[in-house]
Structure 1
Amino acid sequence: MQVAVFDLQGQQVGQIELADSVFGIQPHVPVMHQALVRQLANARAGTHDTKTRGEVRGGGRKPWRQKGTGRARQGSIRAPHWKGGGVVWGPHPRKYTKDMPKKMRRLAIRSVLSAKQRENQIVVVEGLSEIEPRTKAMKAVLSRLPLSDARSTIVVVDRPRDNVYRSAGNLENVKVLMAQYMNVRDGLKYERMILMREAVDEIHRLWAQEGQ
């Protein structure tokens, strides 16, 4: 499919071909959801921990004698029903990692890109590699490009671009991401997706392989 290419002034300067196998498929919503759940789960540290009654401090002595006090019998002040006592069925360190076949992960990425294109939320920009590394410069460019009223923007670059990172680093709801790190969460989180013209070729190289 052919889409417009814009310069840093927001003027259309040409067109570029986007591969239908990446930007034109029917989005697979269940796979996108599974990939998102996997990504969020894999980001969890799993270091949460609570102490059982055998790990909390104190409680080695019986608080009062078994009979004759008129009170309920107790064996330790660190039993779960005591203040400061151990926790029953509390969380302990564990792994939340989930597996997902490579082809499904790739399908999820293509589904996200296709969904963005279907909603006309993808903007291809030429000349972004030459942007001045200043917040003011990036802010001006974003305001000139289509969908300037978008709540959030993700800028996809082909390789590390220090000037692009520096120009967008202080802007709220703007993120710069390399094409090879494309993921479902960022693709769905940010409303507008700006692709450097050079990044389109990188995306095709990474995600448009036949039989994948």
Structure 2
Amino acid sequence: MEATLYNQAGEQIGSIALNESIFGIEPNVPVMHQYVVMQRANARLGTHNTRGRGEVSGSTKKLYRQKGTGRARQGSIRAPHRMGGGIAHGPHPRSYRLNMPKKMRRLAVRSALSAKLAANQIRFVDALTLEKPRTKDMVAFLKAHTLSGKTLIVIDQKNAQTGNVRLSANNLPDVQILLAHYLNVRDLLTCDTVVLPKAAVAVIESYLATDTASAQSEEV
């Protein structure tokens, strides 16, 4: 399959061949949902904590004698129902970490890419290079491609050229820079447009097409 290819100035210069097993599949919504749930769970710190009745300060002496006072029996000033007492069944530090098989994670990313392409929300560019880090140059690039809203720019690797791109986007709250190897469902679905240079497409296809090729070889 093919898609329109643009240059950095926003001019159409031809087309780019895409791997249909990555950009042309039927999106698997349940797997994408499971991926996002995993991401959100893994982002939780799990540092919440409460103190039980054995951890709060207070005397261990019985407040008053058991019988004969006409009042309800009380055993400790640190009981959960008393002001300043411990918390009963409160949260304690724990890990919320979830995991998914690698094949399911890659299927989720392929599904998200296919969904974005079907919605015409991916802009393929020949290259994205900036001579020096300037926010003005990044704004000019976005205007040339008529990109508005949240924009995700995927880069192939960290080097001097991509470093200028990352620094140029630092002051733009609606622009996010992401390495191709770190592509994930949450970032793809929360952005309005994905910018994919040819170099980033090559990196994405190098690791996302592996599972499909191996599965086909196993079937044969």
Task: Report TM bin, short chain.
Answer: over 0.9
Superposition pairs of residues 101-120 of structure 1, within 5 angstroms = 101-120=101-120
CA RMSD of aligned residues (A): 1.4
Aligned length: 210
TM-score normalised over the length of structure 2: 0.90
Amino acid at match of 2:86: G
Give the superposition deviation at 1:130: 3.1
Name the residue aligned to 1:168.
Answer: 169
Give the superposition deviation at 1:99: 2.1
Q: Is 1:50 aligned to residue 50 of structure 2?
A: yes
**1:211 counterpart (209, 214, 217):** 214
Amino acid at match of 1:211: S
Amino acid at match of 2:121: Q
**2:154 counterpart (150, 153, 156):** 156
Q: Which runs of 5+ in 1 are unaligned?
A: none
Name the residue aligned to 1:99.
Answer: 99
CA distance in 1, matches of 2:119, 2:131: 27
CA distance in 2, matches of 1:11, 1:136: 19
Name the residue aligned to 1:34.
Answer: 34
**Higher deviation after alignment, 20-29 or 50-59:** 50-59
Give the superposition deviation at 1:131: 5.1
CA distance in 2, matches of 1:208, 1:142: 30
Name the residue aligned to 1:16.
Answer: 16
CA distance in 2, matches of 1:122, 1:51: 50
CA distance in 2, matches of 1:202, 1:141: 22
Post-superposition Cα deviations, 1:159-201, rounded to whole Å, max 9, x if no partner, equal 0121011010110121000000001111111111001221011
Q: Which runs of 5+ in 2 are unaligned?
A: 216-220
Kindly indicate whether the alpha-carbon contact (under 8 Å) linking 1:156 and 1:193 is maintained by their aligned counterparts in 2. Answer: yes
CA distance in 2, matches of 1:44, 1:182: 20
CA distance in 2, matches of 1:67, 1:88: 26
Superposition pairs of residues 74-85 of structure 1, within 5 angstroms = 74-85=74-85
CA distance in 2, matches of 1:89, 1:82: 15
CA distance in 2, matches of 1:206, 1:40: 24
Give secondary structure in 2 for the equivalent of 1:46: coil
Give the superposition deviation at 1:12: 1.1
Amino acid at match of 1:197: K
TM-score normalised over the length of structure 1: 0.94
